[in-house]
Amino acid sequence: MGDYKLCEEPSNEKKENELEISERIQALREPLSVIQNSAYFLNLKFIKQDEKDKKHFEIIKRELKHALSLIDDLLLK
């Protein structure tokens, strides 16, 4: 018979490590979501913003979207 190597199951240590990483990534997501919601609320509250304020709200929104996207990418790996 030929030498066939069966697919090995990941070790418990590897599974635990992957779970811990996933939990930490998720923990990063939570405060960013709070910041995103707060920025949205402030943007609505201060609807009569000057251009500088609008620019900074847009920067916050863009960077939060980017950070959350990076986190989602990590969770899908």
pTM of the model: 0.65
What pLDDT score was predicted for residue 19?
A: 86
What pLDDT digit, counting tens, does each position of 36-71 carry?
A: 999 888 888 877 778 888 888 889 999 999 998 988
The fraction of the chain above a pLDDT of 90, given in percent, is: 16
C-beta separation of 11 from 33 below 8 A: no
